[in-house]
Amino acid sequence: MKTIIGQIRFAKDCRPFDRVYWPYTDEDKDNTKGYKINQHVTMNVAGSRKQRSIEQLNTYWACCGVVAEMKSDHTEILSKEDIDFETKTEVAKKNPSLIKRFRLINDIVYIEPISIALANMKHLEACKYFDKAFPIMADSVGLTVEKLIAEAKSRMG
């Protein structure tokens, strides 16, 4: 049995009030690949009071992608995961509660920041994190938060 986080949404281009399952993350989407389209599955569904916003999380990852592209050059190609880690580290410097744990490897201390996955962070926590993260990303490439988000959303399709 797999745990796949998602959201029930109204289906576009379908009968009125049809609902579909929408995976939250790329990992959740990948976890559904073991099933065929229109295959019957058994689902245990549990809701949360304050739902995390998939749009907010997707915007964050799109911003990470924009920043990675803008900061990459011919000598170093950055990924959105690199920008995510860099941003979490910067936020954690000012907010140590966002550090999940420390690891000591070969006498060097490494931090492991918290996960922003939908299953690991509550709505209010996520909003507070994103309020700190977006300005850090925007400043790193010389944009305003609004321009960074607009650029990211234009690429999201």
pLDDT greater than 90 at residue 139? yes
20 and 68 co-located in one domain: no
111 and 70 co-located in one domain: yes
What is the domain range of residue 39?
A: 1-47
Using pLDDT thresholds of 50, 70 and 90, give the confidence band for residue 142: very high
Using pLDDT thresholds of 50, 70 and 90, give the confidence band for residue 143: very high
35 and 91 co-located in one domain: no
Token digits of residue 55: 């749009």
Higher pLDDT, 11 or 143: 143
Tell me, rounded to whole angstroms, the distance of Cα 157 from its chain centroid. 17
Q: In the predicted model, what is the mean pLDDT of residues 131-146?
A: 96
20 and 85 co-located in one domain: no
80 and 149 co-located in one domain: yes
The span from the CA of 149 to the CA of 105, in Å, is 37
Q: What is the pLDDT of residues 36-75, one digit of tens each?
A: 877 777 767 666 555 667 888 999 999 999 999 999 988 8
pLDDT greater than 80 at residue 130? yes
Higher pLDDT, 110 or 91: 91
Q: What is the pLDDT of residues 9-23, one digit of tens each?
A: 666 666 655 666 667
- Percent of the chain surpassing pLDDT 90: 32
42 and 65 co-located in one domain: no
Model pTM? 0.63
39 and 66 co-located in one domain: no
107 and 139 co-located in one domain: yes
Q: Vertex 124, ends 121 and 129: CA angle to 5°?
A: 70
Higher pLDDT, 100 or 37: 37
CA R_g for the chain:
18
38 and 63 co-located in one domain: no
Domain count, the chain: 2
35 and 90 co-located in one domain: no
69 and 139 co-located in one domain: yes
88 and 134 co-located in one domain: yes
Q: Which helix (H) or strand (E) holds 112?
A: strand 108-113
